[in-house]
Amino acid sequence: MRRKQSLAEEKQKVKISVFYALLSLTLIAILIVFYINNIIASNNLSVETNKLKGEINDVKQTNDFLMTEVEKLSSFERIKQVAEERLNMVYSDSVIDEGKVIILKKSDLESN
């Protein structure tokens, strides 16, 4: 009878051992899946970060170009040239007479 009891105990121990082994393997598999998922997510974020950095560089280059254009278009020489050619203005180094009034027609400005 002791033999049957010891055999039953051994079978129960084996069943418990198999259960814990399967449980351990399942947990390890789940952890591996989460680890791989994190690696994939990290790689996707790296790709997106690099893409955004490229877009930022493009915007910076465009901004630099536009700042150069603003500086060029707002230079005194250009403004003087436009005033002389389009508006028939004359540059004078002397002090402006306070008694003079300059009248510009809107149609003259729009035609140029």
pLDDT of residue 4: 61
Read off the pLDDT of residues 8-24 as tens digits, 9 standing for 90 and up. 666 666 677 888 889 99
Q: Which residue has the higher pLDDT, 79 or 35?
A: 35
**Count of structural domains, the chain:** 1
- Ramachandran assignment for 94, one of left (phi > 0), alpha (psi -120 to 50 degrees), beta (any other): beta
Position of tokens 């536009």?
66
DSSP output for 86-108: HS-----SSPPPTT------HHH
- Domain limits at 11? 2-111
Task: Quote the percentage of the chain above a pLDDT of 70.
Answer: 76
